[in-house]
Amino acid sequence: MNERVPETAIAEAMNRVLDAEREAAVAIAAEEHAAESVIEAARERRRRILDAARRRVTALHLRAQARLEDALQQLDRGRAAPDGGDEAIRSIAREALEGLARRLPSADHESR
């Protein structure tokens, strides 16, 4: 009989270890699910931010393009540039040339 007591104690201890492992596995799975939810929410927020930024950039680009086309049309007609005269055109050209000069020496030719 004395031999059974240690076996029972060992079996109970093993069962407690197995129960603890199952509880840990359930807790790990729950935390993984929570982490995935947080990551997906962050991805969705990133998508919304990028979409808003793209819309803003597109709108700015369209407005700048319209102003440039208007200025070019006025120059073609022999008039001074709107909103600042010829100096505004020179300033824009100077900035464009400086940007081009910065990009040309770079290895990847991407804007900076």
Q: pLDDT tens digits, residue range 17-58?
A: 999 999 999 999 999 999 999 999 999 999 999 999 999 999
Say yes or no to pLDDT of 84 above 80: no
- For 26, the token pair is 């359930």
Q: What residues does each domain of the chain span?
A: 4-79, 80-112
Q: What angle do CA 81, 83, 85 make, to 5 degrees?
A: 40
Four-CA torsion 109, 102, 60, 94, nearest 10 degrees: -140
pTM over 0.85: no
